[in-house]
Amino acid sequence: MHPQPVRALLIVDVQNDFCEGGSLAVAGGAAVAGAISDYLASPEADGYTRVVATQDCHVEPGAHFSAEPDFVASWPPHCVASTPGALFHPALDTSRIEEVFRKGAYAAAYSGFEGSAPDGESLEDWLRERSVSAVDVAGIATDYCVRATALDAVRAGFATTVLLSLTAGVAPGTSQAAIGALRAAGVTVTGAPRTGTAVTGLAQPGDPQSG
């Protein structure tokens, strides 16, 4: 009988600025925060040995911020370090989160695997040290940071699943493109994301940025 894989839940960027009322709000973000909390309280979540989260935490990320953003590679200021917008949304139950990996201080950093814990340890190293072999990914946004995090996870050799019903996407077009890219890379996807238009005038490229 084969042993069960050690599984972790990665909660990506469920922060105030990415939820309704934030500076870069994604429609459905607050609902995702609550849905993840409900999921963590369910018997299904008992299968996770580890639960971690990522946070956008920008200081001076260069061209990632712009007064005239194109909403593809540049964005309005958001999740600035030490501001309320960078905090986890209050509907997210953080009691099971064992470690937080902050990313993007001086660069765009879409993927949680570009982040580090307070002691400087990378997400990949942290997971490997704890013998994690499978990860489920949830959070915001389906078509950007969830996509990038899941792609880096599968490239690093983790069996990777995106729980789409626990994600919110910036726009339908980019979310569908992200789902296609994830499947092509070998990521398992389940459910359907919440999608909307995050920002007035938002561009909808065929293939969202992953960097």
- For the annotated catalytic residues, the residue numbers are 13, 103, 145
- Phi and psi at residue 79, to the nearest 5°: 45, 45
Indicate the residue type of 164: L
Distances (CA, A) of 28 to 33, 35, 47, 127, 170: 9, 10, 26, 29, 9
Residue whose token pair is 């995050």? 198
Q: How far apart are CA 211 and CA 195, in angstroms?
A: 21
3-state helix, strand, coil in the chain (%, to 5): 30, 25, 45
